[in-house]
Amino acid sequence: MIILISLGIEGTAEKTGVGIVDSDGNILAMAGKQLYPEEGGIHPRLAAEHHAEWIPKLIPQALDESGLKYSDIDLISFSQGPGLGPALRIVATSARSLALSLKKPIIGVNHCIGHVEVGKLDTGAVNPVALYVSGGNSQVIAYESGRYRIFGETLDIAVGNCLDHFGRETGLGHPGGPVIEKLAKKGSYVDLPYIVKGMDFSFSGLLSAALREAEKGTPMEDVCFSLQETAFSMLVEVTERALSHTQKDEVMLCGGVSANSRLREMLKTMSEEHGAKFYMPEMKLCGDNGVMIAWLGLLMCNEFGPMDLKDTNIIQKFRTDEVDIPWIDNTKTYLELPVEFIAKGAESNIVKSEYLGERAVIKDRIPKGYRIPEIDNKIRKARCKEEAKLLSDAKRAGVKTPVLYDVNLADKSLTMEEICGVMLKEVIDEDLAFRLGCEISKLHSADIIHGDITTSNILFDDGKLVFIDFGLGRYSQLKEDKAVDLLVLKKSLQSIDYNLAVKYFDLVLKGYDDDSILKVINDIESRGRYAH
């Protein structure tokens, strides 16, 4: 077998790097340089100037480290996006110049997928749910139906950006994460907003609230502790939900924010609570680096061949789910549940029971070991009360839900009718997709946001659709919230069958029968969710 050697150039934001990897996965060289701004955040022009200065120095440095000659390189790989436009253009121009001068093939790759693939290479993870967190990106990624799917992501700014912004505004410096982590170890909890919308999270409101606490004189240690605990709890909760939905048995943390020991601890705890294996690559591979670009270039080139030069333009908002990934082993190991469990969800255990002679289930909102008690108790109690009310109001709106028998706020549990139908994901067809849209319209007309409309949370029983698990539900008149509700469903449909998802979602919208919602959905999807 011929061993190929790839040289990768990275430079999507403030870091630039050059890595050399062979097709057996051996890392032969890794060189890099980071821009540290004197004040403020990362300016795109300064990042570009930094990369233009350092890439020509890092390439020979990496070759020296590897002991190779230019002629030994078989492929030039570069980060095509997402990222800062000016920085990406320097990287692409450098890669094209090198490929032309050496007469070598070239390939552009997705930066986010590079993080996941180098993490798998380093840890041995096969098919994990990955939490990718950095200054510019916050995504929960898992492989389904031929591509990496984004099961959850930020609706505004990335978690790294949130921490850095807080650091700059409060005079802690840039990057903010390391200083915040240090101060948080001496802090106590103050109440801050916890914002999870379906499978997505939002950090701008949390950032504003933390800044207000700092301005009014709350001890900085307490604000840092609360900001960190709240932000990371949100990230881990959505990762947990993706793990529960996909039923995978591996979790991996990657990206620059992985440096935070508290985030690592929380994600490891969550994984252990679900019986899943936890992985994290070596720290030097978590931040942006050329090795991940070189390795992904080899994987892509092996499947698709190199690119024509005309196709090497940058893609500033390059989505993770836009890339076909044919090399994944999609084998899943399903965990066996105790016999008394109907399901172990992200939020609750569902246990068989009986209520006044009727078959019932108890939805037990179990404590989460990864969350501090102050946040955990607040969320579990609030969601228990809200779900009880939502179940009743949804029924009044004409939507079938389980009959609620009892609410126990002390235990944060609900006792309700057992529904014996099958999950919608197992039986969905065009007719059911249309009917689903009609039912969601009834909920939204009553200003009920389900919060977690997945094809696992809708059952088909006795010819009817039954909505269960309103655990993330709330009331809202905002079109934005209703559109986000529908987008959760869209992602869920994509995880069943990506090719049929478009048809099914169109039929859902047809049943929903409100043309104005489509504009809001398109607006949310088209937003730049990368801080770059």
Cβ neighbours of 208 (radius 10 Å): 12
Q: State the virtual CA torsion across 480, 368, 341, 420 in degrees, nearest 10.
A: -10
CA nearest 123: which of 258, 282, 345?
282
Please give the Cα distance from 253 to 276 (Å, whole number).
Answer: 13
Residues involved in catalysis: 452
SS3 216: coil
Within 8 A by CB and 6+ apart from 447, the residues are 475, 476, 477
Here the tokens at position 459 are 């059952």
| DSSP string of 416-477, one letter each residue | EEPP--EEHHHH--HHHHHHHHHHHHHHHHTTEE-S---TTSEEEETTEEEE---TT-EE--
By the 8 A CB rule, do 234 and 194 touch?
A: yes
Q: How many CA atoms lie within 13 A of 143 on its CB side?
A: 23
Are 32 and 16 in contact by the 8 Å Cβ rule? The answer is yes
How many other β-carbons are positioned within 10 Å of the β-carbon of residue 481? 18
Q: Two tokens at 219?
A: 């001890």
Residue 491, C-beta contacts closer than 8 angstroms, at least 6 positions apart: 149, 150, 151, 199
**What is the C-alpha to C-alpha distance for residues 190 and 219, in angstroms, rounded to an integer?**
10
The span from the first CA to the last CA of the chain, in angstroms, equals 40
| Backbone phi and psi for residue 24, each to the nearest 5 degrees, phi listed first | -90, 0
